[in-house]
Structure 1
Amino acid sequence: MKQSTVPRHVLPVLVLAQFMGTSLWFAVNAVMPDLQRELGWPASAVGTLTSALQFGFITGTLVFALLAIADRFAPRAVFLVCSLAGAACTVGAWWTVRDHTALLVWRFATGFFLAGIYPVGMKIAAQWYSRGLGGALGLLIGALVLGSASAHALRALGGALPWPTLMLGVATLAAAGGVLLFCCTTDPPGIRPTAATLQWRALATLWTDARVRSSVLGYFGHMWELYTMWVLVPLVLATRLQGSDLSWAAFLVLGAGAIGCAGGGWVAQHLGSARVAGTQLAVSGACCLAAPWAMDAPATLFFAWLVLWGITVSGDSPQFSTLTARNAPPQAVGSVLTLTNSIGFAISITSILLFVSLAEHVTLAALIPWLAIGPVLGLWALRPLWREESRT
């Protein structure tokens, strides 16, 4: 499809719907301080509930990939159904919020249905944008980053709204996002679901195709760092801030990733996705290595370090997805992206559990540099695509 044939409203609708749908990710986290005060839950409850959602997302992405859901059915319909189901799960979480076990089940189910929102949104963008995909995904994933970071803004504003209103509001927002995308966009002309059976050979391209393997392994290195950084940033800020100041600072640092996503998408249209992804991955890895000095730096340098880290740690993600979508078999782009997400989130959980455990015994200044392992390995894997772009 030629880029000029894409209706102007498609990208804004897709970005807004993605933001609204993925708001489910932080619905419970945002109200957790209120629940802890009201119900006496320990601080570790937020980690347990976050892990439940992440495991649900991994399970969902595996199921969606193995059954080729995003390639066998219209992605808009999948996005709508999963947005409504995820919203219903959040209402269920609100209804049974005082039962910790039930809440874990609802959050797991929410994560499962998010597998039909985040990766499927990327699939829809890949269908519409045969060119300029890096820019489109930059805006799309930027919306996801900003939405996820908004948990900290909601914590800062938590005193203004009761927690039931916040939870039900997020559920309504997610449902509206699914309806918005379904009603205000159409399937691209000439694009119809094609995968009638499980695409084993297509999924195997994660390893058998050199280009797909390069982008996927680079993405895995990125995922080793990304979500662990998100978990550790509030702890880093807590060495200097507290209360609402800490929450607002965390929102600004993590939300800065939207700048890296959108800006990187624009630059990628001129320099190439591999070079943009590699540059941002290198800078975020350097930020990890700089932690021992930055932690004790004057306030201006300390916050500049965190903002730079926040911009680059997320900014490479859209370009890794762009590279994978471009090089994956056309009939199985949705399944390949979904399986890649699944493995990447499994890596992120492993990293989170390892670093959170070590943080009880090792100072953050000594621990954070080890996050650079992911960027280093990711850069090594990305070399073939970087060299290929440099020759063109």
Structure 2
Amino acid sequence: MSTAVRTADATVDEARDPPGCWAGLAVLASAMLFGMTTWFSATAVVPQLEAVWAITPGQAAWLTIAVQLGFVVGALGSAILNIADLVPPRRLMLYGATGAAATNALLLTAPDVTVAIALRGLTGLFLAGVYPPAMKAMATWFRFKRGTALGIMVGALTLGSATPHLVNGLGGLQWQLVIVVTSLLTVAGGVLAEVVGRDGPFPFPKGRFDPRMAWRVFTDRGVLFASLGYFGHMWELYAMWAWFSVFLGETLSLQGVGEAGRWSAIGTFAVIGIGALGCWLGGVLGDRLGRARATIIAMAISGACALGIGLLQTAPIPVILAVGLLWGFWVVADSAQFSTAVTELGRQDYVGTALTLQLAIGFILTIPTIWIIPLIAESIGWRFAFAILALGPLAGIVSMRQLRYARGA
């Protein structure tokens, strides 16, 4: 009866993780979901904030972009200073969640949109102390079904990403209430991780402060190929999430559907939200087929959807929604598997540093595609606007094929 730790492309006949691992998953996944709610708080109430501050569409976009830039700054700083490997991960989640909740709550006192954008940047910076350490903490509970566990965690975040669209589709909420509730949930997530959560029986060795390790662990052959695959994935993911609602709204209007904005928001909630199931299946496939094969399958399907969906703008709405749901399912199905590969292939005393740097660079790559998609759509229409996103999965597939044959994978 054989058992083995699953790596980039290994399989196993029978594997069991320790008792209590799924309870540990439930606590940490809940803590991360609550802790990350401030990421989406301003997005959910942009229509109300436009009226309060008389902001332009460009300024409204910066309320979201600022969070991502702040996250990148926080993650890069954490990686260089090895914070994720020096501070216990659940303790770091508490610190990050408290800071994010405080800066999010300060939106209630912001006099104008400029201050609000700055506060959103600080919120993103503190959230860099929630997401990467949560992934590291979860990995201490699982060896054999680590991909499934991390997939479930990312699936919870995916559902959270979709929720603002449902809020908008149902008519929105009073913006002050949304800010207060998300701040309280974020603090609760940090407390839940630190007080209720526990470390699993597979702890990572503690690293020591060495700024040079950020680059050294990242350029390890296995970590590098897994990260390059992740970068291709991120090139596609957030631009699809950011602009699918606009594409769907214009498509519904083109075909004469009434209340196009409302139905677009609800449809986009379904398209993004179904990715939560995709993350779970991606984790199962990663554990059974190996990280490389699972991510290649997901990127091949999502890349094909990116190439083809714009060509369907005049097709029947059910056909467009079906392709959208297929895209939403697979575009995020591979997300957690790149991080899982890093936890398995990277130097174990600097796993937190490697994960944080991977996430930081990945989020940097979301910015150009979020910026360029509406420019292409305005210039030549949606027919080919999403096609540029397929370059990411193509590059990711090449990288993950290399990972399959890399030494130690």
Shift of 1:92: 0.5
Matches within 5 A, 1:1-392: 3-96=17-110, 98-159=111-172, 161-189=173-201, 191=203, 194-198=206-210, 200-201=212-213, 203-207=215-219, 209-238=220-249, 239-240=251-252, 242-387=260-405
Amino acid at match of 2:262: S
User: Alpha carbons of 1:382 and 1:191: their partners in 2 closer, same or farther (altered >3 Å)?
Assistant: closer
Inter-partner Cα distance in structure 2 for 1:250 and 1:326: 34
Shift of 1:7: 4.2
Inter-partner Cα distance in structure 2 for 1:193 and 1:326: 13
Inter-partner Cα distance in structure 2 for 1:269 and 1:196: 31
Normalized against structure 1, the TM-score is what?
0.94
Inter-partner Cα distance in structure 2 for 1:108 and 1:326: 32
Answer whether contact 2:233 2:396 (CA < 8 A) is retained: yes
Inter-partner Cα distance in structure 2 for 1:157 and 1:304: 22
User: Alpha carbons of 1:130 and 1:305: their partners in 2 closer, same or farther (altered >3 Å)?
Assistant: same
Inter-partner Cα distance in structure 2 for 1:109 and 1:244: 31
Amino acid at match of 2:141: W
Q: Deviations over 1:130-176 (max 9, x none)?
A: 221101110010011111111111222344x3111111111111111
Normalized against structure 2, the TM-score is what?
0.90
Structure 2 unaligned regions, length at least 5: 6-15, 254-259
SS across alignment from 1:129: coil
Amino acid at match of 1:182: E
Across the aligned residues of Structure 1 and Structure 2, the Cα RMSD in angstroms comes to: 2.1
Q: Percentage identity across aligned positions?
A: 36
Inter-partner Cα distance in structure 1 for 2:400 and 2:285: 18
Shift of 1:329: 0.4
Inter-partner Cα distance in structure 1 for 2:23 and 2:217: 33
Structure 1 unaligned regions, length at least 5: none
Inter-partner Cα distance in structure 2 for 1:338 and 1:202: 9
- Which consecutive aligned stretches of 4+ in structure 1 deviate over 6 angstroms post-superposition? none
Count of equivalent residues: 388
Shift of 1:102: 1.0
Query: Whose helix fraction is larger, Structure 1's or Structure 2's?
Result: 1
Q: Deviations over 1:215-269 (max 9, x none)?
A: 1111111111111111120111112162322211111111111111011112222
